[in-house]
A and B are shown apart, each in its own frame.
Chain A
Amino acid sequence: MARALARHWGALLVFGAAALIPIVVRDAYFLDSLVLILLWGALSAAWNVAGGYAGQVSIGHASFFGIGAYSAALLATRWQQSPWIGMLVGITLSLAAGAAIGYLSNRLKGPYFALSTIAFSQVLLIVASRWRGFTSGSEGIPVPFRPGFATLGLGHVAWVYLALVVAVLYWAVELWLEHSRFGYRLAGVREDEDAAQALGIPARRLKVIAVTASAALTSVCGTLWAQYVGFVDPFYVFSVDLSVRFALNAIIGGMGTALGPFLGSILITSLETYLRATLSGVKSGFTGIYLIVYGVVLILVVRFVPDGLAGLAARLRGRWARAHA
């Protein structure tokens, strides 16, 4: 137990801090940032299952986020169902969509796979924004706020703990991927698909499973996000920018590492919150400015620290160990 704790001191620090902060801090703005850090981290962790562990780099994961968000919002507004039901419906639809994309794009690699996922998210964007009769079209859907756990109308502190539970669960899934037979085989497929197949690993099936699981995990966060923010806008939830954001946190933190997406989210979400606070007075747009920073950070990170913060830490630790050996 103690050894396990020592090995995961980073996760313990991150999640422990998140658990303790709401006890001390009551500032709504600060707690809001914390919820977003955890949710964005969980979303990137979900992306990481396909992108980092299976090497299926998607720029269309907003598809599943949007499916989760819309499922809950539509069920709540049209059929007065609890968002938890909506979450289940979202998971089911995302499993189907993820399996379909994973299966159809199975042969595709690198940029081709990325392009096919973008195309898929654009198809969903067009459907959601043009099918006025069902989805309210481009106006989007305001999600009604009804207090209570069953309707996910929660206060800030409750949201922190809910997001924390999801974040820790996702982190545990990735930890399992790092230490299980399934995860090892997935890594084999990622590193050299031909060699993995020659060893009898069903590469294609594993990739489909990874993409499908990743889709379902993304969808859950999509539902939570829609309930938390209270509004579903098709041009946001299905946007390429959003898909890039999922990837961005994971890349900055370290693709294919369990804690990486959360480290990336801490950095990027705090940066966003900071810029929002300092640039709120600027006229046309804080939105634009932080996205410029995103773009530049992304270019610099993939160029100079391609294995992210987690990789950087591992390298420094290795150097330290060698120096003291």
Chain B
Amino acid sequence: MDPARRLGLAQIDVVAQLGVSTVLLGGIYALIAVGLTLIFGIMRVVNFAHGEFLMLGMYLGFFAFTLLGLDPWFVLFVSIPLFFVVGALTYAVVMKGVIHASHNVQIFTTVGLSTALQNLALVLWSGDFHTVRPWHALTPVRVAGTAFNLSQVVAFVVAIGLTVLLFAFMRWTHTGRVMRATAQDREAAILMGIDTNRVYGLSFAIGIACVGAAGVLISPLYAVYPTAGLQFVLLSYVVVVLGGLGDIRGALIGSLIVAAVEVGGSYRFGTAWKEIFYFLLFIGVLVFRPAGLFGQRGAETLGV
């Protein structure tokens, strides 16, 4: 083992840095994953196009910054209602007709959407990598011997804030209760007079609003390009399956686990191999605990 990488008292800074990295990364992953888990849990549909909405959010952040000089933090407020509408429209045009169809039809509908959006971005904006560098991406923040840039810290705070807000919405509002009721039992919800069609539309719109916001938030942190969403959406699947579908708290815990695996793996083995760890984790979870770490009611309807 490389002596510089041995963990001991002398490396306490390293441990702190890794720990804080994990938490910051986990918060951002959580915001990407909550939208997916919401759609997954309530509509029982895996949105294979989720990463493409993240990518669109990143491009929104990029264009607002380079063309209009708008800070991503400001664009965030615009992006949430904007992506809510995008989500609602996508539901009405694409998803509504297949909500009662077979798994295969649903899988390939969202896969088709993913392919179309990804390549639309490629044709419109080319495959070039873009970066967004507002002032806060260059401002270091030092905490307990660790250093991060301000964009990262604020992205974390906002991501956690939005996730908690969504959790509170689902838990304590009437609409949230209606959505959870639909997730638990579609037929019973219909019998109680719930307009499930509206619930699905709303879930999809909220899910897309979350991931759009996440895209804008991370635009100063990662390169913006047409397939940028792929790596994030793949790890969101890991998060969602780990945490249990439809479970917002589970998504938070799952995000932290995935972030820990990524941070630890890239520290020990180098960043080139970091993705392989969460894919192996993913395969492991799917094989051994497909219902998630905490077990999940309703998983059987997805055929697990």
Contacts and interface: CB of A to CB of B under 8 A. Distances in A.
A288 B123 contact: yes
Interface string A291-305: 110111111001100
Nearest to A241: B115
Interface stretch (A85-93, A120-128, A149-157, A180-188): A120-128
Interface in B102-135: 102-109, 111-120, 122-123, 126-127
B119 A295 contact: yes
A115 B240 CA distance: 12
Interface string B196-239: 00000000000000000000000000000000001000100100
Contact of A299 (B94, B127, B275): B94
Interface in A256-284: 284
B282 interface: yes
B276 A123 contact: yes
A213 interface: no
Contact of A295 (B116, B272, B279, B290): B116
A295 B107 contact: no
A18 interface: no
B97 A289 contact: no
B303 interface: yes
B280 interface: yes
A112 B286 CA distance: 8
A306 interface: yes
Contacts of B276: 123, 126-127
Nearest to A104: B287
B279 A122 contact: yes
Contact of B279 (A119, A294, A299): A119
Contacts of A112: 241, 286, 290, 302-304
Contact of B116 (A119, A127, A299, A306): A299
Contacts of B104: 57, 110, 251, 255, 302, 306
A114 B304 CA distance: 12
Main secondary structure of the interface of B (DSSP, over half): helix
A111 B122 CA distance: 27
B290 A294 contact: no
Contacts of B7: none
B283 A110 contact: no
A110 B45 CA distance: 10
Interface residues of A, number: 44
B4 interface: no
Given A112-B290, A287-B119, A299 B113 contact: yes
Contact of A292 (B116, B126, B230, B286): B116
Contacts of B48: 59
Contact of A108 (B97, B114, B234, B286): B286
B110 to A, nearest CB: 9
A15 B213 CA distance: 52
A119 B105 contact: no
Contacts of B112: 294-299, 302
A115 B286 CA distance: 9
A175 interface: no
B63 interface: no
Contact of B107 (A59, A240, A241): A59
B287 to A, nearest CB: 5
A111 B107 contact: yes
A240 B48 CA distance: 11
B98 interface: yes
Contact of B286 (A116, A126, A255): A116
21 contacts: A59-B111, A112-B304, A115-B241, A115-B282, A116-B287, A123-B283, A127-B276, A130-B272, A240-B230, A285-B127, A287-B119, A287-B122, A288-B119, A289-B119, A291-B122, A292-B115, A298-B111, A299-B116, A302-B101, A306-B101, A306-B102
